[in-house]
């Protein structure tokens, strides 16, 4: 058993100022990722529309109202509601309201290594590119033909 005070976990958010608390390491989870987000109006859970090909994600909205962009349109998730995205399902969440959003995001399995963005490959026309972590964000690589683009 592990117990952690969320307020004792340092906020980190990949180059942005949002309050994202990664709880996986402090809790020692091995099979799922867990993050707590506190988003001010206009802030996003992540950089943009993406899909984890090897991970399903669940967002629990504890306070406020979040909006998720999907390939089928926008979905609003209210306080006390939960939304699930299957592996390979494109989504991007944000606080599109005037108030604060507090949410927990869970992903399983824990470590996602195949993140895609809906962008056409200029080489072969494949409709999604793999996001590869780089020093200044992400580069893109086609999973079909291997063509690489700077992100």
- Domain that includes residue 130, residue range: 119-149
In this prediction the pTM is 0.92
Could you tell me if 65 and 131 lie in one domain? no
Residue 29 lies in a domain: yes
Listing DSSP states for the chain in one string gives -----GGGSPP--TTS--EEEE-HHHHT-SS-EEEEEEE-TT-BSSSSSBEETT-EEEEEEEESEEEEEETTEEEEEETT-EEEE-TT--EEEE--SSS-EEEEEEEESS----EEES---TTT--S-EEEEEETTEEEEE-TTT--EE--
Residue 33 lies in a domain: yes
Could you tell me if 72 and 136 lie in one domain? no
For 92-151, write each residue's pLDDT tens digit: 999 999 999 999 999 999 999 999 999 999 999 999 999 998 877 789 999 999 999 876
Residue 86 lies in a domain: yes
Residue 114 lies in a domain: no
Could you tell me if 33 and 99 lie in one domain? yes
Could you tell me if 67 and 41 lie in one domain? yes
Q: How many domains does the chain have?
A: 2
Could you tell me if 30 and 96 lie in one domain? yes
């Amino acid at each position: 058993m592990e117990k952690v005070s969320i307020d004792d976990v340092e906020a980190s958010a990949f180059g942005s100022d949002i309050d994202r608390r990664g709880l996986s390491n402090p809790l020692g989870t091995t099979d799922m990722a867990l993050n707590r987000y506190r988003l001010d109006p206009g802030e996003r859970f992540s950089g943009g529309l993406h899909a984890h090909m090897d991970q399903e994600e669940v967002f629990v909205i504890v306070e406020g109202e979040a909006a998720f962009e999907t390939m089928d349109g926008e979905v609003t998730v209210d306080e006390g509601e939960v939304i699930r995205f299957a592996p390979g399902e494109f989504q991007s969440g944000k606080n599109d309201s005037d108030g604060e959003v507090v949410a927990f995001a869970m992903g399983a399995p824990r470590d996602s290594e195949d993140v895609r963005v809906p962008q056409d490959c200029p080489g072969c026309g494949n409709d999604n590119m793999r996001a590869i972590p780089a020093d200044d964000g992400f580069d893109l690589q086609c999973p079909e033909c291997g063509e690489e683009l700077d992100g």
